[in-house]
Amino acid sequence: MKVLIIGGVAAGTKAAAKLKRVNRDADIMIITKDSEISYAGCGLPYYVGGDIKEKEQLIVNTPEKFAALTGVAVRTGVEAAALDGQAKKVTVRNLSDNQEEVLDYDICVISVGASAVIPKLLGAGLPGVFKMRTPNDAVTMRAYINEQQVKRAVVAGGGFIGLEIAENLMKQGIKVTVVDLASQILPNVFDPEMAAYIKRRLQKMGVRILTSTKLEAVVGTERAEGVQTDNGIIPADLVVMSVGIRPNTGFLADSGIEMVKGTIVVDEQMRTSLNDVYAAGDCVMVRNRITGKPQWSAMGSSANYEGRTLAQIIGGSSKSYPGVLGTGVVKLPDLNCGRTGLTEIQAKEQGYQVETVLGVTDDKAHYYPDADAFAVKMIADRDSHKLLGVQVIGAGAVDKMTDIAAVSIAMNAKLEDLENLDLAYAPPFSTAIHPFVQTVYMLLNKLNQDMVSMTPAEYAAGRAKGYKIVDVSPEPGIPGALYVDLAKVNGPVEGLGKDDKILLVCLKGKRSYFLQNRLKHYGYTNTVVLEGARFFNEVKVEGIKFTVSPEDITRVKALGFLQDKQTANCFNGRVITRNGKITAEESKIIAEAAERFGSGEIAMTSRLTIEIQSVPYENIEPLRAFLEDSGLETGGTGSKVRPVVSCKGTTCQYGLIDTFSLSEEIHERFYHGYSQVKLPHKFKIAVGGCPNNCVKPDLNDLGIIGQRVPAVDKDKCRNCAVCHVVESCPIKVAEMSEGKIAIQTDQCNHCGRCLEKCPFDAVAMEENGYKIYIGGRWGKKTAHGRTLDKIFTDREEVMETVEKCILFFRDQGITGERFADTIARIGFEKAQEIILSDELLLHKDENLAAQKHLKGGATC
């Protein structure tokens, strides 16, 4: 049996390897136009982000290794040009010399996958515009980011891959804007209210998301400089096209094979409409496992399953491929999202009588460290109680929740089949009643009318209008709502009429349900529980001024917005400058931003950032977006490297070093480059051009001061009546001693004012460089930094030492203590020994990967 497999990434290699095990005598050849086969396409964004260090880690098998392991022949650089199903021949083209040849087969397997769609836009071919489909895409993108020092990126497309790329660009310290033409991110994957929640969470993490926005062009001359949308220009150094994929089936146009929108139609045995031609992977249209209707599901997982099943079928097994559920999971900044089955919208379109519930559950025992919550939307058929779909969002193991749902749907389970599932429990992993089962209980309670509730989608659509909101949280948290202490309800509640329309809201939903149960007992006829409660919904009482929650005060502080203590909902937003240096155009933008989004007033901070005063909470995101469009950013708070402050030594008459250049390099490498690195506390850096100490480098966690160290040649001293060196010394450490010039080296501050003052060159420069102070601090508890013993003469060595100090603080510091305290605890001499060695840089990756100082100690 001669088997020709066209395409060799997931489905093709899986089919070839399995078939060779099923039938060792089979003559199997894979042809592929790529130079690589069997690569981890789903891992590409993580190579860009740095989680995957080497390109080789993305390659599951090289052609040579695969051929040796399996016995399958592999030809790379060969592209299928045409298929003749009657003659059982495939015309192929060698891409190296463009020569064609014809290959015959007994059985042909088409597994050509799909390619990224690049919109036909002006500027789409500029350097800096990328797709994400092959290892080469990821390798060239990461190299471009490093070479061009990319600061801002636009990702076109808010699907799984687009959002994964956005997360990994953020890991590189890049400001990211996601643009999507659809009205929501993750369209056709999550229902609108779930997508809206994900969008809010991503925006709170600093990802700018623009939905219902059309991409019109890439702007730039020699390289990408931004994108033109129907809402204006978004500046960017990098543009990633992730707007979709298209099956690589163009060569089949004249083959007579049945296709739908470029996808190959197959039956349950993966057979196409042509005899002895099968297909699998991203290029095929399979079936939805629930509805039995055609569905395109381009996933690496289903491609592998299809390839393996196909091999067994070709090998003679009585197998069939049952179809897909669209199961998927995505890792986002501090958030994981999983889904399987039908969305609510899809289920209704298929004619089901749909019932849903949105439940919030603990993801593990609430008392266990790092316990968080799941927001789970469960979808079922109202008549049969058959489970149709699940969408789950949370910081924890959403894949486990999604997989339980996928198995349940595949087994045609009803909700009643799932309410006593014997699932694994231990505090680090789950709750005693598994969160999946808890959600089943909620949906059954709703179906049985034991719980009457309102979905988040209904609440967002305004269904709560006219309802009296009752806050059932452990502590009052909804301004203007009637607060009810659940534990004290043993009869009618004062202020609530028994026929009032009452919306019960707590933190996650459980207390509201408990109160509803009690109120029903006491004769209340119209109570409704808000599903998802305050955890999922933004709850406001009509006519009551919005008050910012403590959680959001903390969140926006991390974005550079500190609460104005004179108000309940206004903040002062810090605009980062380059050490206080901005252009005239930037100053106009900041002034306009202050007028449009704040009080119109601007203040300078001691760290040379600019504060826009009195920005209402609801104006924070519009303000940040406005500034980002002009290349400006907010920030400068939190337990991390803070913006660098420097004097104007570059232009000052006393300046000994180029402070602007040095501090800007530090800013880029450590404020931006280490923006995602949590430290025990804030880490402040100051650069001074001379010992005048204008920006107090010795009172910062790390300080750098320019140095010019004098050297005395007494043989050249003429014992002048008036010594110009002595006269020029501002701190009077130069003196005539026994008729010769002398400088008290232990007191000299290396200001350089004495240099070139002696006409006979008795005093000349010995070293020109930098002195580094560590462990300084200003504030309630002052500490003066101490200098490292050496004078640094090489700027790159200075940068390495700055990095080693940051790494030392992260490695040796205790959460909540300042760098000065770390130095004092360990001892200056020991700290200096560690910092001046190379050990910290050798273990840098391990240090940065460790889950340390997740809270930090900075309060401002």
CATH of the domain at 219: 3.50.50.60
Tokens of 418: 């799932």
Q: Is residue 521 part of a domain?
A: yes
Regarding whether 816 and 679 lie in a shared domain, the answer is yes
Regarding whether 83 and 57 lie in a shared domain, the answer is yes
Regarding whether 783 and 679 lie in a shared domain, the answer is yes
Q: Is residue 83 part of a domain?
A: yes
Regarding whether 426 and 372 lie in a shared domain, the answer is yes
Closest CA relative to residue 607, chosen from 699, 706, 678:
699
Bridge partners, 328 (sequence order): 339
Bridge partners, 603 (sequence order): 611
pLDDT at res. 551: 80
**Are 682 and 638 contacting, i.e. CB atoms less than 8 angstroms apart?**
yes
Task: Find all residues with CB under 8 Å of 490, minimum gap 6, and list them.
Answer: none
- What is the H or E stretch that residue 45 is in? helix 44-49
Regarding whether 124 and 230 lie in a shared domain, the answer is yes
Catalytic site includes residue 717: no
What does the chain come to in residues? 860
Q: Is residue 75 part of a domain?
A: yes
Regarding whether 659 and 791 lie in a shared domain, the answer is yes
Domain's final residue, options 447, 464, 496: 447
Closest CA relative to residue 782, chosen from 858, 699, 704:
699
Regarding whether 623 and 562 lie in a shared domain, the answer is yes
Domain's final residue, options 397, 417, 447: 447
- 383: containing domain: 334-447
Q: Which residue has the tokens 């740095």?
A: 50
Q: Is residue 371 part of a domain?
A: yes
* Catalytic residue, candidates 42, 652, 720, 748: 42
pLDDT at res. 210: 93
Q: How far, in Å, CA of 455 to CA of 376, rounded?
A: 12
Task: Find all residues with CB under 8 Å of 767, minimum gap 6, and list them.
Answer: 707, 708, 709, 791, 793
Whole-Å CA distances, 650 to 233, 456, 653, 852: 34, 57, 8, 37
User: CA angle 459-463-467, nearest 5°?
Assistant: 100
Tokens of 95: 């891409």
Residue 752: what are its φ and ψ, rounded to 5°? 80, 5
Q: Which residue has the tokens 């269904």?
A: 463
Residue 672 DSSP code:
I
Q: Is residue 724 part of a domain?
A: no
Task: Find all residues with CB under 8 Å of 33, minimum gap 6, and list them.
Answer: 76, 77, 78, 79, 95
For the CA atoms of 829, 834, 837, 838, the dihedral, rounded to the nearest 10 degrees, stands at -170
User: pLDDT under 70 in the chain at which residues?
Assistant: none
Q: How far, in Å, CA of 354 to CA of 57, rounded?
A: 44
CA 444 centroid distance within chain? 36
Percent of the chain beyond pLDDT 90?
A: 82
Q: Is residue 29 part of a domain?
A: yes
Residue type, 144: Y
pLDDT at res. 477: 86
Task: Find all residues with CB under 8 Å of 252, minimum gap 6, and list them.
Answer: 83, 110, 259, 264
Task: Find all residues with CB under 8 Å of 760, minimum gap 6, and list them.
Answer: 716, 717, 718
Residue 430: count other Cβ atoms within 10 Å of its Cβ. 24
Q: Which residue has the tokens 């990224």?
A: 116
pLDDT at res. 13: 95
Q: Does the predicted model carry a pTM greater than 0.85?
A: no
Whole-Å CA distances, 636 to 172, 610, 644, 734, 746: 17, 11, 9, 42, 37
Domain's final residue, options 484, 504, 536: 536
Q: How far, in Å, CA of 584 to CA of 592, rounded?
A: 12
Q: How far, in Å, CA of 107 to CA of 86, rounded?
A: 12
Residue 421: count other Cβ atoms within 10 Å of its Cβ. 15
Regarding whether 653 and 787 lie in a shared domain, the answer is yes
pLDDT at res. 744: 92
**Are 134 and 39 contacting, i.e. CB atoms less than 8 angstroms apart?**
yes
Regarding whether 226 and 264 lie in a shared domain, the answer is no
**Are 797 and 661 contacting, i.e. CB atoms less than 8 angstroms apart?**
no
User: pLDDT tens-digit profile of 527-563?
Assistant: 999 999 999 999 989 887 777 888 888 888 888 999 9
Distance linking the first and last C-alpha atoms of the chain: 72
Regarding whether 806 and 658 lie in a shared domain, the answer is yes
Whole-Å CA distances, 278 to 105, 518, 578: 12, 61, 60
User: pLDDT tens-digit profile of 78-98?
Assistant: 999 999 999 999 999 999 999
Helix (H, G, I), strand (E, B) or coil at 770: strand
**Are 442 and 412 contacting, i.e. CB atoms less than 8 angstroms apart?**
no
Q: Is residue 62 part of a domain?
A: yes
Q: How far, in Å, CA of 692 to CA of 408, rounded?
A: 72
Regarding whether 650 and 564 lie in a shared domain, the answer is no
Q: Is residue 81 part of a domain?
A: yes
CATH of the domain at 473: 3.40.250.10
Structural domain count of the chain: 6
Regarding whether 406 and 356 lie in a shared domain, the answer is yes
Helix (H, G, I), strand (E, B) or coil at 801: helix
pLDDT at res. 205: 82
**Are 572 and 614 contacting, i.e. CB atoms less than 8 angstroms apart?**
yes
